[in-house]
Amino acid sequence: MVKPDPNKIYPRENDSTICYLKNIIKNPDIIIGDFTFYHDFAGAMDFEKKNVLYHYPVNHDRLVVGKFCSIACGTKFLFTGANHAMASLSTFPFPIFPEWNDDVFVAGAWDNKGDIVIGNDVWIGYEAVILSGVRIGDGAIIGTRAVVTKDVPPYTVVGGVPAKIIRRRFSDSVIEILQKLKWWDWDIEKISGNLQAIRDADIEALKEV
């Protein structure tokens, strides 16, 4: 077995549709963990441009994604710049237009919802949309074309528009053990040595590690 390399761009030989995101990101406000990958049928290299939207430096918000996440084709992360000021008497974004600006701080055109934070081992389905300010817990699954407007607990499956909880993946006791084990933080050799137990959901074997 070849030792997994988190520093590769393309983990699969002759396949440019899947890349390890950490190794192509240039924006310091996008932080991606080891082995998290993005798949795109048209090629995965334009993730920053095509998938992280309305992410303007003036807002100082971040996209933070943990390790071993699977992000499907067409997933979109919509940041604060996509919002409008709902408490105003008008939702028109006056400050972004020079003729209406009158020296108002441009970020005042929208409500700032903050960072998007994705845990570890999260699977985000095809064309899902994650809105600014959302936190998604470890091990969660986001359904195809779901629109996630609220936080998602660890190891929870959500889907729909807006996304709602469908079910928990495991019992509370198993989820608690997984959150303590944090297998994604193990070194590569330890993960590889216990891969069968991880894949078989053998929680008893993992507790002995």
Express each pLDDT in 106-163 by its tens digit: 666 677 788 999 999 999 999 999 999 999 999 999 999 999 999 999 999 999 999 9
Q: Quote the CA–CA distance of 151 and 135 in Å, as a whole number.
A: 5
The answer to whether position 165 is within a domain reads yes
How many domains does one find in the chain?
Answer: 2
Rg (CA), the chain: 19
132 and 190 together in one domain: no
Q: What is the pLDDT of residue 106?
A: 64
Q: Do 146 and 206 sit in the same domain of this protein?
A: no
pTM: 0.91
Do 182 and 206 reside in the same domain of the chain? Answer: yes
User: What confidence tier does 33 reach under pLDDT thresholds 50, 70, 90?
Assistant: very high
Domain that holds residue 186: 171-209
Question: Is the domain of 71 the same as that of 136?
Answer: yes
**CATH code for the domain of 120:** 2.160.10.10
CA distance 62 to 4: 28
- Calculate the average pLDDT of the chain: 91
Residue 145 DSSP SS3: coil
**Is there a domain that residue 123 lies in?**
yes
| Residue 100 placed within a domain | no
Q: Please give the angle made by the CA atoms of 82, 85 and 88, to the nearest 5 degrees.
A: 160
Q: Is 94 a domain residue?
A: no
Residues 41, 72, single domain; the answer is: yes
Integer Cα distance of 65 and 104 in angstroms: 33
Does 55 qualify as catalytic in the annotation? no
Q: What pLDDT, in 10s, does the model give residues 66-96?
A: 999 999 999 999 998 788 877 778 888 777 7
Rounded Cα distance, 167 and 158, in Å: 7
Q: CA torsion angle for 123, 125, 130, 134 (degrees, to 10)?
A: -30
Q: What is the pLDDT of residues 176-187, one digit of tens each?
A: 999 999 999 999
CA distance 158 to 61: 24
Residue of 39, 55, 60, 84 marked catalytic: 84
